[in-house]
Amino acid sequence: MADTQKPRSDTASTPTTPFRVEKGTCYALFAYEVGFAIDLDEAERRITAATKQRERMPRKRRAPHYFEYHPAPLRVSQPAGPVTVGNHRTTANVDAVIYDFGAISITYSIPIEGPLANLLTLSDELWDHPQLLAASRKLVEGLFDTIHPAVTRPRISDLVEDYAIYQIEQATPAGSPAEIIADNRLPLAQILRAEPEALSDQEIEDALACRLAYGRDDGLLIDWNAALVFDRDAEDIRAVLEYANVELLELRYLDDQLDDDLDEAYETVARPGRRLLSLFTSSAGDLRRIAALQMDSALLFEGVNNALKLLGDQYLARVYRLASQRLHLTEWDASIARKLSILDNLYQRIAGQQSERRMEVLEWIIIILIALSILLEFIPDLPKLW
């Protein structure tokens, strides 16, 4: 039987034009914990050698008025020496956002252009980049020295939370972000995961699962390590993602602190009985210490969660929910709430032990007094001995 199958056309076998970024910026974020709280007005007064302003939530898209910081953080822009990241370099200016709950976020800007292979190389270089990490910490330390008097319980934690945002403003060939994502699934997933090796279909699907679009000409992919934004003006989205990264840092820090607090509280509960003279003072001190731990943890927990209210079905609220999902903020919240509950139970346990010991001492005092009164009845001359 003759082969009647038609040959494939040249047009069908011709590869499409490779995707290329014509204009874009990579924003490398580094969040640090520097204290229990920061007086932003005092910090603003002390910073004199940089451009500064109180940060407001950008409003490119329509959003309720309660989509706002409470209180507004302080943004500081200052010159900094460029840092080389592979074949790229950061710009000469760096932004720092100071939050009242004791966190500072540093943002480096890196111009990007070229094929997606360039972005993949950059994402791989950004992973735990030692020079960029050291430079960001040095900037934080400089700011910390300047605003130190405005910080309550100042200290720079060893914890740092980094995140990358790739904003693509212009690209070729022209097409909608949905088409670009569909045609470049593997390289985009590799960029989000900073993974130079080829990924499985399941990993690609997972990396690209959290996506949003507000209009026909914009798009957003959010993952746990990075986000890709197809938009000419995405300042509002970047602000939400930056806040989510800072929130993750604060929740990690608070979770670690609660682990230490619980260890201390467990030791207090398990401590053997005290001598009579130290019974009341030691127990009261333990209760005050644990109560202080509870109060500090609860205040920081509420301060972080209430600094920016993004509730509802508006676009920025959905961006925050996706970022929260990818960064597992809900799970961190649940872990902290559980540990706060355990700390409260331990407080009640110690308070109960203190009450029981006091009752026991009072019972012994009553027994001794009764015994003395009986003894006085049988020994009439005993009072003369006193």
Answer whether residue 312 is part of any domain: yes
Dihedral sign computed on CA atoms, order 41, 45, 48, 51: positive
Using the predicted structure, report yes or no on whether residue 272 has a pLDDT greater than 80: no
Residue type at 228? L
**pLDDT at residue number 13:** 37
Among 208, 234, 260, identify where a domain stops: 234
360 shares its domain with 267: yes
pLDDT of res. 10: 41
Note the pLDDT tens digit of each residue in 203-253: 999 999 999 999 989 999 999 999 999 999 999 999 999 999 999 999 999
Confidence at residue 111, expressed as pLDDT on a 0 to 100 scale:
97
* Higher pLDDT, residue 235 or 376: 235
DSSP 267-330: HHHHSPPPPGGGHHHHHHHHHHHHHHHHHHHHHHHHHHHHSB---SSSHHHHHHHHHHHHHTHH
Q: Are residues 255 and 317 in the same domain?
A: yes
- Picking from 234, 264, 299, the residue at the C-terminal end of a domain is 234
pLDDT in tens, 9-42: 443 333 467 899 999 999 999 999 999 899 999 9
pLDDT of residue 275: 46
CA distance 274 to 263: 20
Q: Domain check: are 78 and 213 in the same one?
A: yes
Does 280 have pLDDT greater than 70?
no
Contact 240, 214 (CB under 8 A): no
User: Measuring CA to CA, which residue among 77, 81, 72, 87 is closest to residue 38?
Assistant: 72
Give how far the C-alpha of residue 181 lies from the chain's centroid of Cα atoms, to the nearest Å. Answer: 28
β-bridge mates for residue 107, sequence order: 29, 95
Shared domain check, 137 and 272: no
Reduced to 3 states (helix: H, G, I; strand: E, B; else coil), residue 252 is: helix
Per the structure, the complete domain to which residue 90 belongs is given by 16-234
C-beta of residue 137 within 8 angstroms of C-beta of residue 233: no
Domain boundary among 201, 234, 267: 234
Give Cβ neighbours of residue 155 (< 8 Å, ≥ 6 apart): 34, 35
Question: What does the pLDDT read at residue 164?
Answer: 98
Q: Are residues 298 and 370 in the same domain?
A: yes
